[in-house]
C-alpha cells in the first residue's frame, strides 16, 4: 500500500516546536513560518488553529505551546489507555526481553528499555507498574520536550515508579552529554543491553529520516527494537477521526490525531527503511499483515532484533501469538 499525498502533510505538533539536534536546546519557532508551511501543504484548518495562538515579536509563545501540547498529550494518553497500549507493547516485548536476558546471562549488564519520544511516558510508566519485566530491567523515557518530561517525572514520582525520564536524544544515552558533560550510564558499569521502543512515533519520521531512525538504533549497539504505531489501512483514518472527535477536546489533538492515521507507514515501507541494517538485524511485524476489513488490528508493532537472538525469541513467543508475527526477514 503506497502512501497517499496527504501522508506527507506535517502534523501541527511537528511544526510548532523545534530543537537543536546537537544540544537538544529548544529554538524559537516563527508563527508566520508555521502558517506558511501549513498553507503550502493545503492545510487551512490547521493554519486556523495555529493562527489563534499568541506570539511575541513573531515567535510562538512557548508557554502557550507547551500548555497545548501538555493538554493534548493528556488527552491522547486516553487513547493509549483505551487501546491498552502498555499491555500491547508488553506482550511483544516479553519474548524480546527474555532473549536479551539470555544473551547477557553471566555478565553484569542490565537491560535498558528506552522509550523514544515518550511524551508523558505513559507506556514507560505503565510498564513500571504492570510490566513484570524483572529487577534487571531499567526503564528510561526520552523526549526533547521539557514540559512533557517534567510532567512525566511528576507523575512517576507521585506514583513511586522505578523509571527515568531524560531530555535527551535517545540514541546517545551511552555517550557523555555534550551540554552537561554528564554520563547517563552509571560510572564503572558496562553499558546496558538496550531495547528501543516507541508508541505512535514512527510515523513522524518520513523519507530519509525514517532510514536514519533505524540505522541510529543499530549504531548504538542496541539489541532490539519494538516500535508500535497505527497500522495503515483504509479504515484507519475513519476510525481515528471517530475516536479523536468523540474523545479529544484540544483542536490540535483532534487534528494531529486524525492526520496521524493518514500518515501511518505501510508495513512494507517500514521493512524497506531497514535495508541498511539487515546485515545485523532480522525484522518482523506483529499484526502487520494486510486484512480485507482491518477493524480489529488497528495497531502494529515493528520488531527488529540482532540476528543471534531470533531463535530464542521464537522459542519465547507464546503459541497463541505466533501466527500474528510475520516471517522474519532473511
Partner 1 sequence: MDRMIPFLMIGLVLLDCALAGIRAGYGRDGRIHKNDLSLRCALRGMLFGAFVCAALGILTGIVVTRSAHGPDIYQSLLSIGIRMQIVFVGFSMVVLPSVALFTVCRHEYRTLATVAILGPLTIARPFVIIAATAWGLTASQHFEATLLTLVASAAVLFTGWYLDKAFATLTAWTHPKPAAVSEEDAADDGVVQVEIDEQIDLHHFAPRDIPSVVEEYLREALGRGFVEVRLIHGRGKGVQRQRVQRILANHPHVVAFRSDGLGSTIATLRPPKAEYPARR
CB of 270 to partner 1, least distance (A): 20
C-alpha distance across the termini of the chain, in Å: 22
- CB of residue 120 to partner 1, shortest distance in Å: 5
Question: To 10 degrees, what angle do helices 251-263 and 236-247 make?
Answer: 170
66, three cell numbers:
507547551
- The C-alpha torsion from 317 through 321 and 322 to 324, rounded to 10°, is -130
Nearest distance in Å: CB 222, partner 1: 17
CA distances from 327 to 107, 268, 283, 321 (A): 31, 13, 8, 13
Tell the smallest beta-carbon distance from residue 313 to partner 1 (Å).
Answer: 21
What is the closest distance, in whole angstroms, from the C-beta atom of residue 92 to partner 1 in the complex?
Answer: 12
83 or 328, CB closer to partner 1? 83
Residues near partner 1 (CB under 8 A): 63, 66-67, 70, 74-78, 82-84, 87-88, 108, 110, 120, 122, 125-126, 129-130, 135-136, 138, 140, 146-147, 149-155, 157-159, 161-167, 176, 180-189, 239, 242-243, 245-249, 295-299
Residue in 75, 16, 135, 8 with CA at minimum distance from that of residue 257 = 75
Nearer to partner 1, 41 or 91 (CB): 91
For the CB of residue 249, give the shortest distance to partner 1 in the complex, in Å. 7
The pair phi, psi for residue 263, each rounded to 5°, is -85, -10
Return the bridge partners of 292, or none: none
Dihedrals phi, psi of 34, to nearest 5 degrees: -65, -45
- In whole angstroms, the minimum distance from the beta carbon of 219 to partner 1 comes to 21
- Select 127 or 277, whichever has its Cβ closest to partner 1: 127
120 vs 210, beta carbon nearer partner 1? 120
HEC string of 90-117 equals HHHHHHHHHHHHHHCCCCCCCEEEEEEC
Euclidean distance between CA atoms 16 and 178, whole angstroms: 25
Amino acid at each position: 500500500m503506497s502512501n497517499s499525498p496527504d501522508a506527507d502533510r506535517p502534523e501541527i505538533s511537528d511544526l510548532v516546536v523545534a530543537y537543536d539536534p546537537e544540544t537538544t536546546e529548544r529554538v524559537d519557532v516563527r508563527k508566520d513560518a508555521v502558517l506558511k508551511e501549513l498553507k503550502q501543504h493545503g492545510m487551512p484548518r490547521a493554519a486556523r488553529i495555529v493562527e489563534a495562538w499568541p506570539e511575541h515579536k513573531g515567535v510562538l509563545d512557548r508557554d502557550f505551546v507547551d500548555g497545548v501540547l501538555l493538554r493534548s498529550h493528556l488527552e491522547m494518553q486516553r487513547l493509549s489507555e483505551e487501546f491498552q497500549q502498555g499491555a500491547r507493547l508488553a506482550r511483544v516485548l516479553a519474548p524480546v526481553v527474555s532473549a536479551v536476558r539470555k544473551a547477557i546471562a553471566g555478565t553484569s549488564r542490565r537491560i535498558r528499555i528506552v522509550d523514544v519520544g515518550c511524551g508523558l511516558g505513559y507506556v514507560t510508566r505503565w510498564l513500571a507498574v504492570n510490566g513484570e519485566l524483572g529487577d534487571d530491567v531499567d526503564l528510561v523515557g526520552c523526549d526533547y520536550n521539557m514540559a512533557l518530561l517534567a510532567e512525566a517525572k511528576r507523575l512517576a514520582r507521585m506514583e513511586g515508579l522505578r523509571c527515568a525520564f531524560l531530555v535527551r536524544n535517545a540514541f546517545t544515552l551511552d555517550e557523555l552529554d555534550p551540554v552537561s558533560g554528564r554520563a547517563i550510564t552509571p560510572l564503572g558499569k558496562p553499558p546496558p543491553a538496550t531495547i528501543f521502543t516507541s508508541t505512535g512515533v514512527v510515523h513522524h519520521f518520513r523519507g530519509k529520516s525514517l532510514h536514519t531512525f533505524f540505522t541510529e538504533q543499530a549504531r548504538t549497539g542496541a539489541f532490539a527494537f519494538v516500535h508500535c504505531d497505527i497500522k495503515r489501512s483504509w479504515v484507519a483514518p475513519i476510525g481515528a477521526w471517530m475516536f479523536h472527535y468523540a474523545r479529544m477536546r484540544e483542536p490540535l489533538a483532534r487534528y494531529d490525531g486524525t492526520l496521524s492515521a493518514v500518515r501511518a507507514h505501510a508495513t512494507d515501507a517500514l521493512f524497506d527503511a531497514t535495508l541498511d541494517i539487515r546485515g545485523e538485524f532480522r525484522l518482523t511485524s506483529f499484526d502487520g499483515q494486510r486484512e480485507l476489513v482491518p477493524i480489529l488490528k488497528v495497531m502494529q508493532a515493528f520488531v527488529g532484533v540482532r540476528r543471534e537472538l531470533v531463535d530464542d525469541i521464537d522459542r519465547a513467543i507464546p503459541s497463541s501469538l505466533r501466527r500474528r508475527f510475520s516471517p522474519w526477514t532473511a
